[in-house]
Amino acid sequence: MLRLKAYHRFRFPSEYYSLVLKAAMDNPIYYARAEYIETDTGNKVSRRATIAGPQNIILGGKTIIASGAIIRGDLRRTGPGHAVVISLGRYCLVGEGCVMRPPYKTYRGNFNYYPMKIGDHVHIGSNTVVEAATIGNHVDIGKNCVIGKFTIIKDCAKIADGTIVPPNTVIPAMSLFAGSPAQFVEDLPESTQEMVEAYTKNYYTRFQPMPTER
Amino acid sequence: MPPGVEYYCPCLSSTPHPPPSSLASSLYSFHPLHSLFFCEECDAVRCNRCVMVEVSGYYCPNCLFEVPSASVRAEKNRCARNCFMCPNCQNTLTVVASDPPDNGETRTSPIVLSAVGEPPFFLYCNHCRWDSAEVDMTFEKPTGLAAQLQKFEDSAPEALEFERLKEHFEPFLPAASSALARDIPGVVKYNPLTRSRSGRDRAAAKSEIPDYRARVEAGSSHGLASGSGGEVDVDFMKHLETAGEVASLEQRWVNSWTTSLHANDLKPLRIPLHSKKSKRCPSCRHILIKPEQKAQSVRFKIKLVAANYLPAITVSLPHARAAMEMIKRSSALNKSTSTAVAEEHAAAASGAMIAGKTYPFHLAFTNPLYDPIQVRLHVQRTLTPSSADGKQKAPFAVTLPSSAFPIAAFAEAWEYEDDEDMFGDEGDYDGARGTKDRDGRARPRTVGVLERRANVTVVGGEVVLGKEARGNIKFNMLVTYTYRSDDPEPENDDPTATPSKRGTQDKQPQMKTFSFYTVVELGNIIRREESKVDMDP
Ligand SMILES: [Zn+2]
Ligand SMILES: [Zn+2]
Ligand SMILES: [Zn+2]
Ligand SMILES: [Zn+2]
């Protein structure tokens, strides 16, 4: 019988999935070196992205902000001092032409913006507009989506391409949502976390400057 | 989405061999590796189609509240808190108060209104703008709406009728399910209830089921106002002005009984609960998947997934890769290439192949085990039914390395030392001898081991396409691998066992083999003359 050692059975490292992915696709995703600024923590931010209010934005490291993305860190809660408006974790991707805008509402007659918090290993496809309140870890959002105000997306969820998520929607963990308005489609496989983690790490490694320019 | 590799699950079938990949139905027997499970007791792959599923907990997908199983039944599997679904578009509804909004935004941000609003309250959809006042449904308080709605649901004549029906047939249910199990042998395996009660069933089966008297006459216009196909409905349909007046099938079938055809009769629905599921092996009942109790946790107490046991296989076509690279490079540099060249690259990049040509392909194997393994590959030969003249004419021929090749162990520490001692030196697995290689010998290293790094071994294969080859190129591949077993007792060498259970006791007593089938999909064939004009096969 094929048996695994106990420690292996319960602690399956995502590094293994990374190796599988690497075997499948180690072809680089090239960019022109001059276009991206790389920070000390490995974030890669396109010069063609609009980063408004950078002092209010936190990038966790190894996160990519692609060309044409707009991140509205300037839309902050009124009041003195400085506040985190948008925070992104590690190994995230904000795709080309994405708009990240903090949600807002009027509470007891006062209009205010609210912070947006995004976890680790979150990929957001190109031309998607995000106004969510919180997005967990290992979340995969497709391209051309609208993620409405105050949406909460839990860990390991997936939003299909072209999905319209109405404001205040809650998307439970490990579920696939699609359509307009977004609806539950199916439960995702038990290994989703490892798969997404490996994919986002693999993507970051492949994302590199054109070799001819070196 | 070719090219790709999927893994076979026999789903308790009597033969370990999969159906030929040329059959459309074979699609249902193959799954992506990451969706499969592995039972250590049975030494077998299991899939979502064959595992036994048990609910390990219920929760509302909107408020994420974990619902105790005791209340699930009473609340009819729907959320008993303030979670409702729009009957028109199925978006989540929000509770809105009647006080005049400060500005246009207030209505779409309901959190504002929860405490301070003025009655009456109603449910509002911020996607399609449906609201419950349209169907004369308003509430005095913004809380406890679910209870009010459920009272309304439960008092509907159809619901009452259903309750009575259930009561009437309840005593005969075990008999009916055991009868079903008798007629369909597979059923008993999936129904623990019938097994335990079989003794009592026989007695119950003998008693006659008394006639049931319905309270509501089917199709009458008394109890069921509309939707049951009576004259009322005909009249309604006759005077339709827009299609939107009729509730769509999707909007109606969320109810378990006939509902009104009128779109403006649709009532808000309490949100159906979701569940967390445990999965068991259908054969030995050992647990394969056991999630953590907390509804939104993505962790598992037990998770026996096939990816931990079987090597992961990925396939790539060098010609497609090369084309892809060209596209990537030219787009990264914003070069404008001629459209003809670009189109050709696009066709090749999508994996298209031309009939009559020979293509190499790469299979990369990644070993998940902490021990090295030896792998051997076989193509499952299939006979095409069109060979009436006895001459076998396969549309394509696949050549794979014929001898075994090693894959190093997966090491977290990245200390890959030479494991040549274990499997002999490199010369032994020079698999560059193809079985049906017509002209391949002149070109070494097309078929055979191409690369070994860490726990990945890449082997090359070759496909020779016939002149008349059409459609999708895919074939079943049997993968057999030898591993070092940690089992102390060599108990499983039953000669009648499936190939997967056969141990190799000959030379090294601790070595065992495991076999599994995969389907390898290489891509679509385009005919030569079509290749430039039309990419569609
Ligand atoms: Zn199965
Ligand atoms: Zn709820
Ligand atoms: Zn709606
Ligand atoms: Zn089993």
pLDDT in tens, B332-342: 555 555 666 66
Residue B148 has pLDDT above 90, yes or no: no
Query: Nearest CA to CA, how far is B40 from chain A (Å)?
Result: 6
Give the side-chain half-sphere CA count within 13 A for A153.
35
Q: In Å, how far are A164, A167, B101, B109, B522 from B106, measured between CA atoms?
A: 21, 12, 6, 5, 55
Provide the chain A residues 65-124 that lie in CB contact (below 8 A) with chain B: 105-109, 111
**Residues of chain B with C-beta less than 8 angstroms from the C-beta of A13:** 412
For residue A20, give how far its alpha carbon lies from the nearest alpha carbon of chain B (Å): 6
In angstroms, rounded to a whole number, what is the distance separating the alpha carbons of residues A107 and B102? 10
User: Across the interface, do A109 and B308 touch by the CB < 8 Å criterion?
Assistant: no
Q: Any idea which of B227-236, B364-373, B448-457 has the lowest mean pLDDT?
A: B227-236
Q: Please write the tens of the pLDDT for every residue from B107-132.
A: 444 444 444 578 888 899 999 999 88
Beta carbons of B366 and A173 less than 8 Å apart: no
- Whether chain A has a CB inside 8 Å of the CB on B5: the answer is no
Question: For residue B308, which of A191, A22, A24 has the smallest C-alpha distance?
Answer: A191
- Indicate if the pLDDT at residue B33 is higher than 70: yes
Burial of B84 (C-beta count, 10 Å sphere; 0-12/13-18/19+): buried
- Return the pLDDT at B135: 84
- Asked if B27 contacts B49 with a C-beta cutoff of 8 angstroms, the reply is no
Mutation target for A interface from B43, B51, B62, B91: give the one with most A CBs within 10 A.
B91
Q: Point out the residue among B40, B303, B487 whose CB comes nearest to the CB of A190.
A: B303
pLDDT: which is higher, A78 or A80 = A78
Q: pLDDT tens digits for A80-122? A: 767 899 999 999 999 999 999 999 998 888 899 999 999 999 9
Whole-angstrom CA distances from A192 to A158, A163, B91, B408 are 10, 20, 26, 26
| B513 Cα–ligand 1 center, Å | 21
Mean pLDDT over B274-293 rounds to 94
pTM beyond 0.95, yes or no: no
Q: Please report which confidence band the pLDDT of residue B459 belongs to, taking 50, 70 and 90 as the band edges.
A: very high
The domains of chain B, with CATH numbers, are 4-36+307-526 (2.60.40.10), 37-55+278-304 (no CATH)
Residues of A in contact with B91 (CB under 8 A): 166, 169, 181
What is residue B438's DSSP assignment?
S
pLDDT (0 to 100) of residue B120: 87
**Residue A144 phi, psi dihedral angles, 5° rounding:** 55, 40
A161 touches B: beta carbon within 8 Å = no
Per-residue pLDDT at B419? 39
- The overall longest dimension of chain B from CA atoms, in Å, is 87
Residue ranges of domains in chain A, CATH in brackets: 2-209 (2.160.10.10)
Chain-chain contact of B456 with A187 (C-beta, under 8 angstroms): no
pLDDT band at B12 (very low <50, low <70, confident <90, very high): confident
pLDDT interval class at B306 (50, 70, 90) = very high
Please report, as a single letter, which amino acid is at residue B68: P
Task: Determine the Cα–Cα distance for residues B392 and A127; give it in Å rounded to an integer.
Answer: 52
Contacts of B63 (CB under 8 A, 6+ apart): A170, B79, B81, B82, B83
Residue pLDDT, tens place only, B394-446: 788 899 998 999 999 887 544 434 433 333 333 333 333 333 344 444 445 68
Residues 418-447 of B with CB under 8 A from A: none
Answer whether A39's CB lies under 8 Å from A58's CB.
no
For B167, the enclosing helix (H) or strand (E) is helix B157-169
Q: Is the pLDDT of residue B97 over 80?
A: yes
Of all residues in chain B, the percent with pLDDT exceeding 90 is 28
Could you tell me which of B455, B371, B440 has the C-alpha nearest to residue B402? B440
**Paired tokens of B6:** 């999927």
The pLDDT of residue A22? 67
Query: What is the reported pLDDT for B195?
Result: 42
For ligand 3, the distance from its centroid to the CA atom of residue A180, given in whole angstroms, is 10
CB burial string B211-224: b at 16+ within 10 A, e below? eeeeeeeeeeeebb
Find chain B residues with C-beta within 8 A of A27's C-beta.
Answer: 321, 324-325, 328
- Top-confidence residue, B495 or B340: B340
| B370 contacts A8? CB cut-off 8 A | yes
Q: Which residue has the higher pLDDT, A114 or B248?
A: A114
What is the pLDDT at residue B73? 87
Higher per-residue pLDDT: B396 or B227: B396
Instruction: Tell me which chain A residues have a C-beta less than 8 angstroms from the C-beta of B455.
Output: 19
What residues in B contact A184, CB-CB < 8 Å?
61, 274
Q: How many CB atoms lie within 10 A of CB B100?
A: 7
Question: Does residue A12 sit at the B interface (CB-CB below 8 Å)?
Answer: yes
CB atoms A189 and B34 under 8 Å:
yes
Average pLDDT over residues B502-510: 48
In B51-110, the residues whose Cβ lies within 8 Å of chain A are: 59, 61-64, 89-92, 94, 102-103, 105-106, 108-110
Residue B211 has pLDDT above 50, yes or no: yes
Q: Mean pLDDT over all residues of chain B?
A: 76
pLDDT at A8 over 60: no
Looking at residue B19, what is its pLDDT?
87
Confidence of residue B251 (pLDDT cuts 50, 70, 90): confident
**pLDDT for res B332:** 57
Of A168, A175, A191, the CB nearest to B307: A191
Chain B residue numbers with beta carbons less than 8 Å from the beta carbon of A18 are none
By DSSP bridging, strand B269-270 and strand B84-85 are: antiparallel
Q: Residue B488 is encoded by which pair of tokens?
A: 């102390």
Least confident stretch, A49-53, B17-21, B324-328: B324-328
Confidence of residue B302 (pLDDT cuts 50, 70, 90): very high
What is the token pair recorded at B371? 């021990």
- In B, which residues are within 8 Å of A120 by CB distance? none
